[in-house]
Structure 1
Amino acid sequence: MSFAKSSTKVTMPKVSAAKVRRAALYLRVSTGRQAEGDVSLPSQRRLTRGHCEREGWIVTDEYVEPGVSATDDRRPAFQALMDRACDADRPYDLIVVHAFSRFYRNGAEMELAIRKLRRHGVEVVSITQPTGTDPSAEMMRQIIGIFDEYTSKENGKQVTRAMRENASQGFWNGATPPLGYEAVEAERRGAKIKKRLAIDEVEAETVRLIFRLYLEGDSATGTPPLGIKEVVKWLNSRGFVTKRGGTFGVGAMHHILTNTAYVGRWNYNVRNKATGEKRSEEEIVTIDVPRILEDATFEAVQVKLAANNPRVSPVRIASGPILLTGLATCAHCGGGMTQRTGTSRSGKVYAYYTCASRAQRGPTVCRGNSIPMAHLDDLVLTALQERLFAPERLAEVLSALVARRAARAEAVDARLVALQTEVAAAEDKLRRLYQLVEDGMAELDDILRDRIAVLKGERERAQAAFERARAQSGGHAAINPEKVAAFGKLMREVLSSTDTPARKAYLRAILGAVEVDTATVRITGSRDVLHAAIADTPAARDVVQFTGPKWRARKDSNL
């Protein structure tokens, strides 16, 4: 937000020095469109300066507020004016406005501001409305303030209603489109241009890359699945930019990963801009937009975000001394398993995993399970070492995933062919147009120039999308016997060690849950995670817990 302040002396008629009053002008318009039009501000300046000249007042300062609402005091120029007017040297006798609505559109707050200024010897003067200190003038000013506030709220209601109706018809209301989209003209209604969202193929490739990096990594560059912070660093280090050409941030990245527009649903009017409160479902308008992602990919990312939320998985789960904290769950109620200890008559301490729901809320909530901690740890570690991480078992588990990814690679290849066809089609149309001009069968008039410009734009967009897709379609790293054996050996070594934090980090990276039933223990996980881990087997020092004691207080950097 910018504002201008200037000091300009005006030649005044000769008057007695004792009668000269010093004035500061405050000029404001409500919208950026009014400010850009440069109509209202010059008019206010001309009228207020003319009034000061006729009254014999000296204009010492001018404060300009372009495109800011006056419903509150969150206005840079206004705050600067109030601070300066209340200084000990008392620089102003008057603050001159075109109308009280320029000064404030909140009756109560306007009265508080005027009373504060009066305590410092400053009066607010409207050149188009009655002012003064007698009771009738005071009453009129207060009535005007209340009416201005009412008018502002009614205008806001009408604008909100019109924008909701515009959104319900599927049109875009003018905000910056999400990454991956552009606003294109859909139709004209008089002088108004109605726009809809269309996919920007170049940016859409970046969106697909972001979701892929977060969910499964990028085997073309040997990148394992990343957290939000690491996705941000990865993109920024490789020159990717946001919609406005800046670098990515954690908060913006979380918004991208949770934006339902990418699966065809853009929600408009979700929050109150003034208070930040979420609106009711009846007030939210869902706009159908072209989808960039499949539902399965988007939902998988939401599941991972929920699991990594520090409000769900606190720091102690990642860094505490208990091996299966955060992984062990009760098969009866789905709640987590917590530690419970007991001491025998000989003084020996026994540790158990027990259902947290039963321990905290009683047996009516869950009948629960309890199992000796050392026994469950040993069961899980032995099963993983002897069964899952044997090379032949790993290859068997991942065979179906390899086939599925091969099919996905075929789909990517088909998309590359389609983009290449678009490029070739645009080039062919351009060649034919050029040939018509060369053969003298068509004149290079404005219509033909526009058509050539459109075709060039289509060709460039298709070519850029093709190049980006080709660069990012290296496919997933192949699973060969050497990598499977190396990964299995690494995992068996880590799980056999006594370094609980390292074992815990690896288990949390590979497993989904350890479900404890009365007579059985089920270990679940993701084949995608296994594939990514084998494709780029990390050393023990590379495993980093997803939360830690230095996490930020704001929620935007921990998800």
Structure 2
Amino acid sequence: MNVVLYDRFAIDNPHDHARIAADRVNQMRSWCREHGHTIYAEYIEQGNKHVSDDRPAFEALKKAVTTDGHSIQGVVFQSFNRLFRDPIKLAMFERGLLLHGVKLISMAADSTVEPSHMIKSLVGLFDKFQSKEHAKHTLRAMQEKARQGYFTGGVVPFGYMTITAFRTKFDESKLLDVHPLEAETVKLIFDLHIRGIDGTPFTTKQIADHLNIAGCLRRKRPWTPASIRSVLRDETYLGERIFNRRCRKTGQLKPEGEWIRVTVPAIIPEHVFTSAQRGVLS
């Protein structure tokens, strides 16, 4: 494997500088020979560089990886803290190398452990933390939208459609409004379940069959007893949609104090909805 060497170190006594620098570089050269690596170039930071962001050799290394990426396959270094003391910066650096097909190779790492395993684990933890923070921010934004009466996304209940309330360069706020054609189907479903056609209430299966035969589909899909029951149980038709009722991840019901009630146009009167619930399981 073609590799480049990188090291940085600080020396208190300038008189020892040349000797210590030579010893460290020779150690790295010997290690590369033992592991079958061919040294393409050497980048050594000398002086008190470990407390400074001024790292010309390191910048030259990054430029070489970008311009000579096909010739360089690995970067050999003494230990992780020789590259960065900040593990996040180290992880980001490795990501950049991998884009050019270059690996990080630590002399201090156990031969059975890939250095990238530790870095990937670290990045994974960081990404997980960032993801949780982003989810919290998104939920807070959606809750605020719901409190203002706007639709927060997801599947639009059958019988409704969304209309744009206002639009900005970065966002669009929508409201739920009655879908004229679908709303008539919703009313028919409730009517069939309560009265039927000849006074005998329809079961959910009979309602589904009746609508499918008539070609009155559920947004291009056939009705089923389950989808009919879903309509008959949906309290949105009473004029109120509840946001944040369940945890999106687990599906568990949240405390009622966390629910956000959003007013929407009603489609079904309360007495009709109540009457339909008596036989909704049939």
Name the TM-score, length of structure 1 as normaliser: 0.31
Deviations 1:25-50, CA, capped at 9 Å, x for gaps: xxxxxxxxxxxxxxxxxxxxxxxxx9
Q: Residue type matched to 1:147 in 2?
A: F
Alignment correspondent of 1:230: 206
Shift of 1:132: 5.8
Q: 1: CA distance between counterparts of 2:71 and 2:194?
A: 70
Q: Residue type matched to 1:258 in 2?
A: R
Alignment correspondent of 1:280: 255
Deviations 1:343-392, CA, capped at 9 Å, x for gaps: xxxxxxxxxxxxxxxxxxxxxxxxxxxxxxxxxxxxxxxxxxxxxxxxxx
Alignment correspondent of 1:154: 133
Q: 2: CA distance between counterparts of 1:215 and 1:282?
A: 34
Q: Does 2:253 match 1:255?
A: no
Alignment correspondent of 1:270: 245
Q: 2: CA distance between counterparts of 1:252 and 1:205?
A: 16
Q: Residue type matched to 1:250 in 2?
A: P
Q: Does 2:218 match 1:242?
A: yes
Alignment correspondent of 1:184: 163
**1:196/1:55 CA distance change after superposition, 3 Å:** farther
Q: 1: CA distance between counterparts of 2:170 and 2:117?
A: 43
Shift of 1:184: 0.5
Q: 1: CA distance between counterparts of 2:265 and 2:257?
A: 23
**1:137/1:200 CA distance change after superposition, 3 Å:** closer
Q: Residue type matched to 2:70 in 1?
A: R
Q: Does 2:155 match 1:139?
A: no
**1:132/1:260 CA distance change after superposition, 3 Å:** farther
Shift of 1:165: 1.0
Deviations 1:410-457, CA, capped at 9 Å, x for gaps: xxxxxxxxxxxxxxxxxxxxxxxxxxxxxxxxxxxxxxxxxxxxxxxx
Q: Secondary structure at 2:157's aligned position in 1? A: coil
Alignment correspondent of 1:204: 183
Q: 2: CA distance between counterparts of 1:267 and 1:185?
A: 20
Deviations 1:478-500, CA, capped at 9 Å, x for gaps: xxxxxxxxxxxxxxxxxxxxxxx
Q: Secondary structure at 2:258's aligned position in 1? A: coil
Q: Residue type matched to 1:180 in 2?
A: G
Q: Does 2:33 match 1:54?
A: no
Q: Secondary structure at 1:183's aligned position in 2? A: strand
Query: What does 1:144-543 align with in structure 2 at a 5 Å threshold?
Result: 144-219=123-198, 224-243=200-219, 245-305=220-280, 308=281
**1:55/1:299 CA distance change after superposition, 3 Å:** farther
Q: 2: CA distance between counterparts of 1:278 and 1:193?
A: 29
Alignment correspondent of 1:447: none
Q: Is the 8 A contact 1:131 1:138 kept in 2?
A: no
Shift of 1:54: 2.9
Q: 1: CA distance between counterparts of 2:274 and 2:186?
A: 15
Q: Residue type matched to 1:224 in 2?
A: T
Q: Secondary structure at 1:292's aligned position in 2? A: coil
Q: 2: CA distance between counterparts of 1:190 and 1:261?
A: 31
Q: 2: CA distance between counterparts of 1:132 and 1:176?
A: 49
Q: Residue type matched to 1:233 in 2?
A: D
Shift of 1:212: 0.7
Q: 2: CA distance between counterparts of 1:207 and 1:238?
A: 15
Deviations 1:152-178, CA, capped at 9 Å, x for gaps: 111011101111111111001232321
Q: Residue type matched to 2:248 in 1?
A: K
Shift of 1:279: 2.1
Query: What does 1:111-122 align with in structure 2 at a 5 Å threshold?
Result: none
**1:147/1:162 CA distance change after superposition, 3 Å:** same
Taking only the aligned residue pairs, the percentage that are identical comes to: 28
Aligned length: 191
Shift of 1:276: 2.1
Q: 1: CA distance between counterparts of 2:96 and 2:208?
A: 54
Q: Is the 8 A contact 1:186 1:195 kept in 2?
A: yes
**1:127/1:290 CA distance change after superposition, 3 Å:** same
Shift of 1:291: 0.3
Alignment correspondent of 1:497: none
Deviations 1:131-162, CA, capped at 9 Å, x for gaps: 56836654333222111111111101110111
Shift of 1:126: 4.2
Q: Secondary structure at 2:257's aligned position in 1? A: coil
Range moving further from structure 2, 276-285 or 207-216 = 276-285
What is the alpha-carbon root mean square deviation over aligned residues? 3.2
Alignment correspondent of 1:80: none
Shift of 1:128: 5.3
Q: Residue type matched to 1:231 in 2?
A: I
Shift of 1:302: 1.8
